[in-house]
Amino acid sequence: MQYMEFAGRVTRISVTGHAEPIVRVSGYAGAANCIRDVYLERDGKGYQIVRNQSLDRLSQEASYCNGDYLFYRNWRGNTYAILSEFSARDSSLTVFRMTAKLELESVCSVRWSE
């Protein structure tokens, strides 16, 4: 795991059914303009890193680079993670519903060519 060169954006994500908001810290990592997300949650002493396979999958360190992005929205009582990916061949938009246990449920995916 390569850590961030510097922290960029810090956002609070209110996950429906989760007691406290999750804190997302995004920063650039590596030479390919990739984003690495680190997620934190409150504990009794302050904040701790969230160890969660779903959030790790969404973290942009693995393959989301050069303009790809991820954002979260609450809509009609649910929390959604929206992932936008661009490549030389095509682009895609994928929507996941996030549960209170921070698990992802696939909602839809759209792919198109330019």
**pLDDT tens for residues 52-102?**
988 888 775 555 677 788 889 999 999 999 988 887 788 889 999 999 999
Task: Specify the pTM.
Answer: 0.79
Answer whether residue 1 is part of any domain: no
Give me 75's structure tokens.
């809509």
Q: Measured in whole angstroms, how far is the alpha carbon of residue 90 from the centre of its chain?
A: 21
Number of domains in the chain: 1
Poorest-pLDDT segment among 38-42, 43-47, 60-64, 71-75: 60-64
Which pLDDT value is given to residue 67? 74
Answer whether residue 69 is part of any domain: yes
How far, in Å, CA of 48 to CA of 9, rounded? Answer: 18
Answer whether residue 94 is part of any domain: yes
Range of the domain at 59: 6-112
End-to-end Cα, the chain, rounded Å: 33
Give the residue-averaged pLDDT of 103-112: 93
